[in-house]
Amino acid sequence: METVRCFVDCLADFGDLLSAKVIRNGTEVFLSTGASDVLVFNGQEKRVKTVLHFCSSVKSFALSNDRCRLYALCENDGLYCIPVALESSSHSLSAKCHIPALSTVSKDSTVIKDGKVQSFIVVEGILVTVSMQESFWTFELYELPDCSEGAMVYQRRAGFQVQVVAARIPQKHMADTVDSKSIAPALACIYPSSDNTPNGQAHLGHPLLEPLLFRLLFGVDTSLVHSPVILCGLPDGRLFFFPLLLPMLTSSRGEQKPQIKMLYSLEQPVTFIGTSVTGEKGPQYLVVIGQRGRILIAMANQEGSDGKAADCSFIEHTVQGPVECACVDGERLYYSTSANLLALSLINTSASPSSPLTRPKRPAVFSQSAVCLSVCRVAALAEPCITPAGSVELLALSLSGKLLQVTLPQASDKESLSRLVSSQVGQRVNDLMGGIGNIWERASSMKHQLQLKNNTLRCLNHVFNVCHLILNCHKNDQEVCERKPPISCRGVANWSTLLQKDSLILTCILENLSDCALHQGWTLCIEVYSSRSHIADGSSTTYSFALKKVDCGEKLEVNLPLDIDGEVFLPVKINCYLVYSLHSLFHPEELGHLSVVSDIPISQLLRDNGCISLALNTLTLDWLDCLRIAEPNSYADVPKQLTTWESTHKFLSSKQTRTQLQSMSKAGPHAVVVRISSELLRTGLSLPGCSTAVLCISVLKWLVFRTSETGDYKPIQNPVVCALGPGRHEARLLTKEVLSGINSKGDLSVVEVQVESFSVEALCGLHHAVLRRVQALLKEAPVTHGGPVSLRGQHLTEAVQHAESLYKDLQDSRTPDTFGGVMKIRKTSELFQLYLQLRENPLVII
């Protein structure tokens, strides 16, 4: 690709753009940056003269034929019309101070209140709008009011519709192509050239076309009345046209509508429509450019000597896309891709200069390649103009917000580029430095984006490694039992006293023994299920702790309360999770970029799968975990604060059961006994061959501290433990080894675990906790005996019969009141004794 160095002058810098449009109006330039402002820039003073502020973002704007009014299409608001002569002549004080005059455009200036309008054009006192209504492209024609009479009502003359067709997008363009419905249609007005119009010059700012090609393309009737033709390139690639000055056709319903026909299908969104190559009677080519680089050239074929009539040819050519914007002068086509600004010659340069320029049989665009003009990232182009020196001057607006004046070298300059005068050397150096700066800016931006993506991939890989470690441990249950999990969470209950008020605090310890550090983005979630009876099933309280960084081998301790309204309801089930939010993978810059380029916010995209949740441990805290160990003492020194019935009444009240208060006789502490085989305990607790005293102390340590190691536990040095439970309920646990006659071959060594307390609530809670420990022992450490134990059938029969008789007495001793919901007790002391006898089960766990 040939490269030409142009003279580039930066007139102003407006910052990064969302979209861009620029129109030249003499010495003034109207431009928009995708925001809600239209800037009026003075080219001679090189400053912004006026800022027109609209209520919403400006999608497109255009000047009227007399250049006295500005039409602006705003998003979701419709079409505005304001005078520009008043804006240019006022604000003299601001002009002297070089401060841009701010003019706010009110909604009273709206002339077409239709938020679905996507494109418009003003021609011959007629306003043409294009909008999408459901599955139709709707064309509306309005008659412009006479401003001299003060009327501002736009009367609708006609309207018609074209069926929407889904655009066919090649597979290779699927990744970088947006929805075709979001692309605005391209509108242009073509006039036939005549003897009154100079060759190659536009009529009222609209392009011309030679009469022969105009007649061949748009019909004889249109050519005879010299009617301008509106061409519309839809996003699906279809090119439609209809004349403005022909009589309207009458439909079967009596409606007036213009003649609309399809001229061609480019099969890609249309970016630009214009005419080029000046001949004896006007421009000879109709040029249409597609977004992905397809160029359509329509040209006329003269009547041949063989008697064939004149016709027109449609020739296609493809250049490298995407094409952001384009414009034409008499001989060249200028278009901008996302990287460079290029020029493509449309005339046959091999023709003799002395010979008159005739219609070429084939456009030179097929025999020549585009020339790079060394200008980067151009987003909008104004119509080219010719300088007094004869050079072509382009006005461009780049994506970085720079308003550039690009002057192309003449043919003589291009041939003698190596011989530069001293006055041009500095300008050329500035141009080269500007190009280097643009390339460095693009490279830095790409490097920064690449670094953000690499960081995101690194974080995602780290998250997958943590997930693999935890999920792999859950798959292999036996291995998890043999070795400690790489990432685990354990809990310890502690009592805290503040202002004579006791509070139960759970301390959760997150331990990271893996090779992966837990960085920011991970959250430790602890879900607490209480056994409180009046809480609905499935309700829980979740505590979340955001992690900053937990390195390999480090621990993290968090504390949370377990009491509800000053009361503790045991047992408590605790589920520990590690949660990672996928929002943490994105840098704040990337989240902002995704919110701009996507219609759907990132929060909605991650609504269903926004987090990764990994279960760590499930803990259960019962009465044994919440005891406060005290020095052993006899129950003769324990004050009898509650009677038997008072304890029962309090226990039933905590379970939301209403009872009728009756007097009860005082009694001593209540007790329950659990009998466990000594052989089972020695094998399950890994205490082979230990003595009776060591076994009894180890069983107490295992019950209270969940371990049976014979370390230095100062609170437990005897087979008796005195402790305080929740609510300061006093209790005592004691163990002793006895002989049981359940074995028919001889006495069986049994360890009795006895629980004593004046509180029925504490007695039941501790009994349930002891049974849970025994069940866990039977699951985790199954015992294999040398042979089955020979049980005494008579002993088992008597135990079962005794339990059945107690249960029957219990059923007979109470009659529920079905109307009041109150339990009436005939003999409260007998009922309570029955409950205690049921808990004293003579059977042995072996």
Task: Report which listed range, 462-476, 501-515, 696-710, is most confident.
Answer: 501-515
Q: What is the pLDDT of residues 785-801, one digit of tens each?
A: 444 566 666 667 777 77
- Helix and strand tally (H, E) in the chain? 15, 49
Give the position of tokens 């039992």.
481
CA angle 153, 154, 157 (to 5 degrees): 135
- Could you please report the per-residue DSSP string of 587-600? -HHHHHHHHHH-SS
Q: What is the pLDDT of residue 641?
A: 45
pLDDT in tens, 301-341: 876 555 566 788 899 988 888 999 999 988 889 999 878 89
- Could you list the beta-strand ranges (E) of 302-353: 311-318, 325-328, 332-336, 340-345
74 near 55, Cβ under 8 Å?
A: yes
> What's residue 640's pLDDT?
45
In angstroms, the CA 453 to CA 98 distance is 44
Contact indicator for 531, 493 with CB cutoff of 8 Å: no
- Per-residue three-class SS string for 258-309: CCCEEEEECCCCEEEEEEEEECCCCEEEEEEEECCCEEEEEEEECCCCCCCC
How many alpha carbons lie under 13 Å from residue 442 in its C-beta half-sphere? 13
Residue 638 has pLDDT above 50, yes or no: no
User: Is the pLDDT at 345 greater than 50, yes or no?
Assistant: yes
Quote the CA–CA distance of 340 and 327 in Å, as a whole number: 15
Taking residues 134-154, report their average pLDDT: 80
DSSP string, 383-421: PPEE-TTS-EEEEEEETTSEEEEEEPPPHHHHHTTTS--
Q: 744 or 799: which carries more pLDDT confidence?
A: 799
Q: Could you tell me the maximum CA-CA distance found in the chain, to the nearest angstrom?
A: 136
Contacts of residue 237, Cβ cutoff 8 Å, sequence gap at least 6: 167, 265, 266, 267, 268, 269, 270, 290
Average pLDDT over residues 614-632: 83
pLDDT at 408 over 70: yes
Minimum mean pLDDT among 370-379, 632-641, 671-680, 822-831: which range? Answer: 632-641
pLDDT value of residue 533: 46
- The Cα–Cα gap between 440 and 446 comes to 10
* Strand 78-83 to 69-74 pairing: antiparallel
Say yes or no to pLDDT of 358 above 60. Answer: no
Residue 691, pLDDT above cutoff 80: yes
Per-residue pLDDT reduced to its tens digit, 812-830:
765 555 444 444 444 566 6
- Whether the per-residue pLDDT at 410 is higher than 70: the answer is yes
State the burial class of residue 113 (Cβ atoms within 10 Å of its Cβ: 0-12, 13-18, 19+).
exposed
pLDDT at 633 over 60: no
Is 96 buried (19+), middle (13-18) or exposed (0-12) by CB count in 10 A? Answer: exposed
Distance set, CA 271 to CA 38, 287, 415, 460, 590 (Å): 22, 11, 33, 40, 29
CA distances from 634 to 139, 389, 730 (A): 101, 117, 12
> Helix or strand or coil: residue 445?
helix
pLDDT for position 395: 92
CA–CA gap between residue 13 and residue 202 (Å, rounded): 30
CB-based contacts of 180: which residues, under 8 Å, 6+ apart? 166, 167, 169, 235, 236, 269
What confidence score (pLDDT) does residue 273 get? 94
Top-confidence residue, 217 or 601: 217
Q: What's the pLDDT tens digit per position in 19-55?
A: 889 999 888 999 998 889 999 999 888 899 999 999 8
Separation of alpha carbons 598 and 586, rounded Å = 15
Q: What is the pLDDT of residues 103-129, one digit of tens each?
A: 999 888 899 998 899 999 999 889 999
Gyration radius from the chain CA atoms: 46
Whether residue 476 has pLDDT greater than 80: no
pLDDT digits (tens, 9 = 90+) for 665-678: 445 688 888 888 88
Fold of 482-621: Immunoglobulin-like (2.60.40)
In 3D space, the residue among 86, 89, 54, 92 whose CA is nearest the CA of residue 73 turns out to be 54
- Cα end-to-end distance, the chain, whole Å: 92
Q: Where are the domains of the chain?
A: 178-375, 482-621, 624-845
Band (pLDDT 50/70/90 cuts) for residue 596 is: very low
Distances (CA, A) of 442 to 372, 400, 448: 18, 10, 10
Q: What mean pLDDT is reported for the chain? A: 78
Cβ burial of 123 (10 Å; 0-12, 13-18, 19+) is: buried
Q: How far apart are CA 701 and CA 693, in angstroms?
A: 13
What is the arithmetic mean of pLDDT over 403-407?
91
Q: What is the pLDDT of residue 271?
A: 94
Beta bridge partners of 731: 723, 757
pLDDT at 179 over 60: no
- Given this model, what pLDDT does residue 237 score? 93
DSSP state, residue 808: H
CB 269 within 8 Å of CB 183:
yes
- Does residue 357 or residue 245 have the better pLDDT? 245
- What does the alpha-carbon distance between residue 14 and residue 37 come to, in Å, rounded to a whole number? 12
Predicted local distance difference test score (pLDDT) of residue 663 = 40
Percent of the chain predicted with pLDDT > 70: 72
Q: Closest by alpha carbon to 75, among 92, 54, 94, 52?
A: 54
Q: What is the pLDDT of residue 637?
A: 43
Phi, psi dihedral angles at 86 (to 5 degrees): -65, -40
**Position with higher pLDDT, 228 vs 85:** 228
Bigger pLDDT: 764 or 128?
Answer: 128
Query: From CA 181, how far away is CA 346, in angstroms rounded?
Result: 32
Pick the closest to residue 68 from 88, 84, 81 (CA basis). Answer: 84
Residue 664 in this model has a pLDDT that exceeds 60: no
Question: Mind listing the pLDDT tens digit for each residue in 223-281?
Answer: 888 889 999 999 999 999 999 887 665 555 655 566 789 999 999 999 999 998 877 77
Q: Is the pLDDT of residue 194 over 60?
A: yes
Q: How confident is the model at residue 639 (pLDDT cuts 50, 70, 90)?
A: very low
Q: Is the pLDDT of residue 632 over 60?
A: no
Average pLDDT over residues 349-377: 59
Q: What token pair was written down for 745? A: 């071959």
pLDDT of residue 748: 81
* pLDDT score, position 298: 92
Break the chain down into helix, strand, coil percent, rounded to 5. 25, 35, 40
Omega before 571 within 30 of 0, i.e. cis = yes
Beta bridge partners of 568: none
